[in-house]
Amino acid sequence: MNIKIKSLNETSEKTKSYSRNKKQWLKKPDLPDTHIINTDIYTNPAIFDEEVSNIWHKVWLPICHESELPEILDYRTSSIAGNVPIVMVRGNDNKIRTFLNLCSHRNNIVVRSPAGSLKNAEPSGNSNYMTCMYHGWQFDAYGSCVEISREKAGYQDRLCKDKLGLREIKTEVGFGGMIWINMDDECGPLSEFVGNSLDLMKEQLDTEPLEIFLFQKSRVKCNYKLFFDTSREFYHDYLHFHNRQTSMVKPGYFDQEYSQFPNGHSVSGFTTVDYSSHQGSALRTLTFPGLPPNGWRHTTIFPAGAYNIRTSSLRVNVIMPISDRETLIEIRGFGLKRDTPEERALRIKDYVSVWGPFGWNLHEDLLCAQVQTQGIQKGSGAIWNIAAREEGNKVHDEVGVRAYYAEWSRLMRRSHSTENNI
């Protein structure tokens, strides 16, 4: 099979120029609207504001993992689209609840990491009460306000604790023990949103408890959709030398099915990875329940979650837009909770060799999304992105990108391919 790109010393036989003048370049491509994207949706702050309310505050979002709050009264802070602060707490009934991390008094952030303190720099801990630093109001793990400093003296009978609890956010734990939240109080259950899209890896995720072993954060100068595009198509395996060596050369690679599911989710990964063909790769000996040796499974959850099981480790990406041009990407590595220390060390080694900061894959996606962002800045005049590959819903078909933007358009009630979107 041909995975070759022309080398620099090969000459082209053509002599005629097919470059375009400005008018030709700006012209909408002669393709169906479903197959093109107006780059305005990556650079327009007004569209970002609409995305926050129409998408990010309407759908279920994976946030973190239950093993990050293992004990009663453990808490963990995080944020959702647009930097909205939230806090998750495990109550003494063992249930994990999520609250908007804002005090009922003046909307000060309640649970915070003290600036400048390395020891307390982690956004997590264990506490009987969440105390607002501003005026000392306190809340418990159920979100109830349990203490107002000098309550009666100031509010008499006009305000009381019972009316001043935290804003609770719908929370469910599922699909490998991830903690999911939904800002919409009227939303349906998580299982309805995910549907059958994680069935392919159900055995790996839910046979026995998983445990987080690695957490990375990348703050990337790109629109969140541009990074997520790298999870929605596999044509860009050309970007990754490691993938070219271990996947693209394997017989059957181009025959892999790429399936789309309701609510914008997308599934691929029925293949195995051939580590022997990449110099420096150790052969994998560990796996997950029901996963064949060196197996690979991949599911993306709209709008920005990705489950990726690669032989001995699971990676879950949680992508949070900060603004139209900045994105926080949280990356977690998982093994089985019952791993021996030796097994865990091996899983971590396997994981970081591919997805670690100095690995063979993930940083290339991060770099590419930023480089692409430089290309489509307003000033460049670049208007059109193309997602038009049709290969019978196989691995290099861009059907996953088209399905993503179809769901985006449905929730936004606007086309992703209209000229002058605003």
Closest approach, Cβ 194 to Fe ion, in A, equals 23
Closest approach, Cβ 99 to Fe ion, in A, equals 35
Judged by DSSP in three states, 100 sits in strand
Closest approach, Cβ 12 to Fe ion, in A, equals 28
* Complex with Fe ion: residue 51 or 365, whichever CB lies closer: 365
* Complex with Fe ion: residue 51 or 330, whichever CB lies closer: 330
CB burial readout 327-360, b (16+ within 10 A) else e: bbbbbbbbbbeebeeeebebbbebbbbbbbeeeb
Closest approach, Cβ 240 to Fe ion, in A, equals 6
Q: Which residue is nearest to Fe ion (CB)?
A: 365
CA distances from 25 to 15, 19, 22, 34, 194 (A): 21, 9, 5, 19, 40
* Complex with Fe ion: residue 40 or 233, whichever CB lies closer: 233
Which residues, other chains included, contact 110 with Cβ-Cβ below 8 Å and sequence gap of 6+? Answer: 87, 101, 102, 103, 130, 131, 132, 139, 166
* Complex with Fe ion: residue 98 or 308, whichever CB lies closer: 308
Closest approach, Cβ 239 to Fe ion, in A, equals 6
Task: Render 229-292 in DSSP notation, one character per residue.
Answer: HHHH-SGGGGG-HHHIIIIITSTTGGG-B-EEEGGGEEEE--SB--GGGSTTPPPP----TTPP
Closest approach, Cβ 162 to Fe ion, in A, equals 51
Judged by DSSP in three states, 126 sits in strand
* Complex with Fe ion: residue 140 or 350, whichever CB lies closer: 350
**Which parts of this chain interact with Fe ion (CB under 5 A)?**
230, 365
* Complex with Fe ion: residue 237 or 350, whichever CB lies closer: 237
